[in-house]
Structure 1
Amino acid sequence: MLYVMILAIIVLVYVLTRLYFLKREIKRTTRQLNELNKNATAKKIDISYFDRDFEKLAKEINNQIDLTKKAKAEKRSTENELKQAISYISHDIRTPMTTILGYIQFLESDEITPEMRKEYISIVKNGARRLKILLEDFFELSIIEQADYPMKIEMIKLNQLILEVLLGFYEEFNKRNLEPTIKIPDNDIVLRADHSAVKRVIENLVVNAIRYSSGTVTIQLEEFNTSVQLTISNSVDQLSEQDLNHMFDRFYKADQTRTGKGTGLGLPIAKSLMGKMNGRLTAEQMENQLFMKCEWGN
């Protein structure tokens, strides 16, 4: 009986001691969380009393801290991107608007000749067209990025679609004195995707290649065992690593001049559409060639 009482006392002391240290560790952890919530520290939770269950709890708390930090960083990045986008679109709208208003004032003058009036009207029309394209692209991108953006997936012949798009750019190639190199297999390459989305992606990439090519444009279609890859490449004079990294950012232009051609939304639209079709759009540079690669899974 004595041995039973001694054993009971030992067990009780052990339990009470364990509870004491656990309670002390809970208070210590609570204090650390309180300091973290008040931004008094950015340090993760650490424990001094090692208990398997408490270690698991501390690990989950630290995981949640990491997720919270990541969410805050993404929020800051999104806010900065939004501010930059607003700044860019404001600039891109303000520039043609200023031009339009300025030439409208000239048109109100009775002293201008018919030739000058015709020229000013043409400038006003061009400015209005640019505004229309900018606003349409911005609206389209905002719609595409919505989670419920509808996609009509069907079987399409990618060879035929590419050739149709290229035929529509015949005059654009001629204006730039460009003769594209086209490498498309004779056999049909069939793809499950949204026809209009794929067409828009190809159009945007071709426009980008024509606009910024320093002399050559190449369109190549390849079929592999598990994927189909369309590569549209063009020669470039100057393209920094920063330009490459921000290629698909909204309103980003490699020359960083906001009065150049284009809205800076063509590539972001193309990338968003590829993502909606579970495809990939990447950019890479090799020497003086920029490669835009679209990849769909078979």
Structure 2
Amino acid sequence: MNIKGILRSTAAKIIAFAGIVGCFAAAVFIGENAIAGCGRDGMIYQFETDFSQSSYMAGQVNNTAVTLEAALEGGISRQEFEQQTRDFPGSYYGVMNGKVISNAELSDSATQNAAFYLIARPDDATQSNISWYYTPFGDEPIDDSFDDEPIDDSFDNEPTDEYNVRSNYPLGTVIRVCVTSEQAAQYQEIWSAQKNTFAHTIYIVLTLTAAALALFVYLLFVTGRRPEDEEMHLVTLDRLPVEGNVLLFWSVLGLAGGLNIALAAEIANGSSEMTFLLMPSVAFLTAAFAFALELTLSLVRIIKNRSFARQCWCVRFVRWCRRGVRESTRKLMHLLTHDYKTRNVLLLFFGYTVVLEFLAVVFGAAGVVFLGTGWFLAAGYFLARRIHGFERIVDALHRMRGGDMESRLTDMPEGVFAAMAEDINSLGDGMQAAVQNEIRAERMKTELITNVSHDLKTPLTSILSYADLLCQMELTPEEANDYAKIIHQKGLRLKNLTSDLFDISKVRSGVEQMNCERLDAATLVRQALAEQEKAIQTSGLALKVTLPEKELPIRADGRKMSRVLENLIGNCVKYSLHGTRVFISLAERDGQAVLEVKNTANYEMDFAPDEITERFVRGDAARSTEGSGLGLAIAKSYTEACGGAFEVTVDGDLFKVRIVFPVCTE
């Protein structure tokens, strides 16, 4: 058996599936076992980088300070305070209005030397080195009786001995809480041990996760495949609707995961009596994960079998609604605009009914039957012939619009339809002759330009070579050197013109081969700007370029689109008003990549936008600047040959080119 057969074998798939489930079970068990081990001493380590940032110790200090404040204000008794702070490892000292609660004599300096401390006074900002704390002595006064006392203005000038001017708390009120390094040593030791445990656990869990992901990727490729063929083989579970698959996935995995997380949280909070549920919980979560994994692989097989839309009720319902609306709209529009027989028959019967009503009143029942029948037969025959002739004319016009100029209308009913048919036949003959003449003229023009361009290349190459040699020599008289340079410059211009003529002739005649591929439009613009950087810097123009940060893919010929951008930027450099700004923007709009180039012209633009893209048409009617009038024609031809749209807009002195390509989604 070859390697592909081994990889697609049932045994290999079972081993991979069991490996993923085993890695998951091992990761969950190791993680929860680590949580259970730390839960016996309490979760002191909470993923801090250093023990000095310990949230656990900060909570101890903060809770003691809050409880001490409540005891000083009389909110709880001293016994309740001692009961709530019996596990506090540090020292505290609080005094208010002569009432002192402490387990040690603490000064500010001694408190501030501790590893964790908090000092709070009502008339000063709280001092602390813990990561978070609740500020004691809030805005509420401890005695509301002062609100009804008359205000003594002398109080503002001189504080009394009993109260501080900045608060309603008595002078000398202070809370000091601290934990020294010696007192926190046992917690630091536990913190370090828990940190090492979690680091080791995370390393193992990440290793197991990487292994499970590798096996999962392998299963994604081989699920549904067999060694003997390339067909997609489904199983019974794959017949389940997509919605049922997703619902089962989240129900089973969500229930098992929720129960497991709740149990882990209880164990982490010190509920050691629930540790016996750890193994059953891991087993239940593993079974749920295995079932969810199989549901995921079933969904992958459905997608690979291209039956996702067929098995998804939501997609089927949306398609059914869309198909019904489209079909109803089509039938209604066809009835109103195309089905002339149906519409006219309805009108005929409506008229027939009106006539019958009229005859019934005038002649009675016998006359209604006789005259009504004759009216219906005559009207039906006349209308049927006219409808048939009208439909033939409409059909002929449709064929002519589609390019069929050779079809002719014969045996038409006498009258207006026969005359219309004769006119349509004459129109077809004239259009066919005109099209043939235009095609012949265009072909001759293209062949002429192509042949002339090709024939000019050889003498031009010789002229340029000899002119270049003359430019390198010291000629006499001195004016000869200038003449040689002029010959070389004009020869280069003629060579570029010949090359442009050759290029546009090829693309207009359909001979040019387009190698369209997936390209990043933003990268194309950046490359074009980099190639024209020197010309832009010497032009005195300011470029404002707006490009998307992410990739904007299109399908086009990279070489041809580079030529398009080169022509557009070159036109901006040559024909923009000195000192103005040129705006180049690229963005995605409604699924299309839109490139816009805008500049202010240095001449009066009195031409139509659709004329400027024709061959040899220049915006500078005086033709006082260099240029052949082929740049925009080549740019438009290349853009349309690659499947894009090229549009020119003129607004006063503002010249704007807009190129649109569909965004490539493959």
The TM tier, using the shorter chain, reads 0.5 to 0.7
Tell me the alpha carbon deviations over residues 114-148 of structure 1, each in whole angstroms, 9 at most, x when there is no partner: xx443333222111111111111111111111224
In structure 2, C-alpha distance between the alignment counterparts of 1:267 and 1:181, rounded to whole Å: 21
- Give the drift of 1:272: 0.7
Contact 2:644 2:661 in 1 (8 A): yes
In structure 2, C-alpha distance between the alignment counterparts of 1:208 and 1:243, rounded to whole Å: 17
Alignment length (residue pairs): 237
Alignment partner of 1:257 is 2:593 = no
Contact 2:556 2:643 in 1 (8 A): no
Task: Tell me which of 616, 624, 635 is aligned to 1:270.
Answer: 635
What is the one-letter code of the residue matched to 1:172? A
| Secondary structure, aligned partner of 1:245 | coil
Contact 1:210 1:217 in 2 (8 A): no
Tell me the alpha carbon deviations over residues 71-121 of structure 1, each in whole angstroms, 9 at most, x when there is no partner: 389579969x99xx9xxx9xxxxxx9xxx9xx9xx99xx8513xx443333
Larger Rg: 2
Unaligned runs of at least 5 residues, structure 2: 1-408, 454-459
Contact 2:605 2:653 in 1 (8 A): no
Task: Tell me which of 593, 597, 600 is aligned to 1:228.
Answer: 593
What is the one-letter code of the residue matched to 2:526? L
Tell me the alpha carbon deviations over residues 159-208 of structure 1, each in whole angstroms, 9 at most, x when there is no partner: 11111110111111122111211011111101111111111111111111
Q: 1:133 is matched with which residue?
A: 496
Alignment partner of 1:173 is 2:527 = no
Contact 2:543 2:581 in 1 (8 A): yes
Q: 2:43 is matched with which residue?
A: none
| Secondary structure, aligned partner of 2:565 | helix
Task: Tell me which of 482, 491, 495 is aligned to 1:119.
Answer: 482
Q: 2:548 is matched with which residue?
A: 185
What is the one-letter code of the residue matched to 1:157? D
Q: 1:39 is matched with which residue?
A: none
| Secondary structure, aligned partner of 1:285 | strand
Q: 1:18 is matched with which residue?
A: none
In structure 2, C-alpha distance between the alignment counterparts of 1:216 and 1:155, rounded to whole Å: 31
Tell me the alpha carbon deviations over residues 33-52 of structure 1, each in whole angstroms, 9 at most, x when there is no partner: xxxxxxxxxxxx9xx97269
Q: 1:61 is matched with which residue?
A: 425
| Secondary structure, aligned partner of 1:253 | coil
What is the one-letter code of the residue matched to 2:630? L
In structure 1, C-alpha distance between the alignment counterparts of 2:606 and 2:555, rounded to whole Å: 34
- Give the drift of 1:57: 4.1
Tell me how large the CA RMSD over aligned residues is.
3.9
- After TM superposition, the score normalised by the length of structure 2 is 0.32
What is the one-letter code of the residue matched to 1:279? G
Q: 2:509 is matched with which residue?
A: 146
Identity of aligned pairs, percent?
Answer: 21
Q: 1:71 is matched with which residue?
A: 435
| Secondary structure, aligned partner of 2:635 | helix
Q: 2:612 is matched with which residue?
A: 247
- After TM superposition, the score normalised by the length of structure 1 is 0.67
Change (3 A) 1:132 1:285: same
Change (3 A) 1:182 1:66: same
| Secondary structure, aligned partner of 2:609 | helix
What is the one-letter code of the residue matched to 2:581? T
- Give the drift of 1:258: 4.2
Q: 2:561 is matched with which residue?
A: 198
Q: 2:414 is matched with which residue?
A: 50
| Secondary structure, aligned partner of 2:607 | helix
Unaligned runs of at least 5 residues, structure 1: 1-44, 90-95
Q: Which moved more, 1:180-189 or 1:219-228?
A: 219-228
What is the one-letter code of the residue matched to 1:169? Q
In structure 1, C-alpha distance between the alignment counterparts of 2:441 and 2:502, rounded to whole Å: 21
In structure 2, C-alpha distance between the alignment counterparts of 1:148 and 1:237, rounded to whole Å: 37
- Give the drift of 1:218: 1.1
Contact 1:243 1:254 in 2 (8 A): no
Tell me the alpha carbon deviations over residues 21-73 of structure 1, each in whole angstroms, 9 at most, x when there is no partner: xxxxxxxxxxxxxxxxxxxxxxxx9xx97269846743641441462475389
What is the one-letter code of the residue matched to 1:185? P
